[in-house]
Amino acid sequence: MSFKDQKLLEDKKRNTVLFYPYISKKTVKLLSSRLKTRWVGQGPMVDKFEKNFSKLFLNKKKCIATGSGTDALHLAYILAGIKKNDEVLVPVFTCTATNIPLLYIGAKIRFVDINPNTMNISIADLKRKISKKTKAIVCVHYGGNVCEMKEILKIEKKKNIKVIEDAAQALGAEYNNKKIGTLSDFTTFSFQAIKHITTGDGGLLAIKNQKLISKAKRIRWFGIDREKKQKGTWENDIKEIGYKYQMTDLGACIGLTGLEDFNNIIKHRRKIYNIYLKGFRKNKKIKCIHDYSKKNKTGAWLFTICSDMKDKIQKKLKEFNIESNQVHFRNDKYSIFKKFVKKDKFRNMDYIENKYLVLPLHTKVASSDAEKIVRVINSIK
């Protein structure tokens, strides 16, 4: 048995899962202290989470913490003025959470093809499909690699339409040396269990026009002005349809400890990401989904490869107790979106649909695990 074969045999011993939530050791202590107070729902810890998040990512601009990333998206669509029958351009490839809130509103979804290099929205197809009917553009930073925001924001300015960034996967990412969350009218984040940091389940909405913060707070909580109500100065009337979209103090406690550790989290994730990127550089059968611009920084939430050997790779990884999968799927094939597809063609999505595969990338993946995954995949003939 060669040394290489012996090494691969040893590699089979360790199990490597696709996702693993990050929970700080400090979380239990903070949660325990909160459980001894009268605040377990939305309270001062949510305020603190918003403030700390803003300092870290939003240049201290006010933001709105929510019960989920989906909640944040729905709020963004409402605040952007999207109404029934308004046309909204969205990526065909994303988590369904991006597009389902548009169904709540009754908007007309127009799917846009992907850029095969990043699996983000295709600028060329976006320009083809934009029209006088377009009310808004929604873009998703897949895996943490940022969209071509310069081109999207040019369209926004020229056409006077709203841009909503779904940055659920892009916490800590940067575009042209600017932090994601500071560029567009609205940017949403997710703190669902397996994101960079978690609040159990939660989200956040960043809003460029700070005059909308008060309205956002009201519709986050049934249309009620909570601050005035708590002070006894509320006029006891609801004038806007609101929702129960608030974050809780318990969730905020988990999130606060995650924020404290974020610099170490993103440093580790980028380290693993770069091991993959370097490891597959000479493998002509593997294409890495990656933005190679030196002005941008990946959020490193997913590492995705594309290959004609996708099924073979996934089967081989399973032999070594390594999980891999396709995390998101093209939305145009879901029955709930069928009426919006019509005769649109998505040539890039068609080409890549059965070739992409996501590899493990989280704080429990050690450098040696990533190196092992590279060895296993590169051993496939």
CA Rg value for the chain: 22
Asked if residues 246 and 46 have their Cβ atoms less than 8 Å apart, the reply is yes
Which DSSP state fits 166?
A: E
Domains and CATH numbers, the chain: 3-22+261-378 (3.90.1150.10), 27-260 (3.40.640.10)
Q: Could you give the CA distance from residue 24 to residue 151 in angstroms, rounded to a whole number?
A: 38
Q: What is the pLDDT of residues 157-190, one digit of tens each?
A: 999 999 999 999 999 999 999 999 999 999 999 9
Which residues are CB-contacts of 315 (< 8 A; sequence separation ≥ 6)? none
Q: pLDDT means per 10 residues in the chain (381 residues)?
A: 53 84 94 92 96 97 98 98 97 98 98 98 97 96 98 93 98 97 97 97 97 96 86 85 97 97 98 98 97 95 98 97 97 96 93 98 97 97 87
pLDDT at 230: 80
Cα separation of 164 and 136, whole Å? 7
Extract the tokens encoding 254: 């988990």
Residue 329: CB atoms within 10 Å: 14
- Amino acid making up residue 111: F
CB atoms within 10 A of CB 62: 16
pLDDT of residue 181: 97
Residue with tokens 């990533």: 370
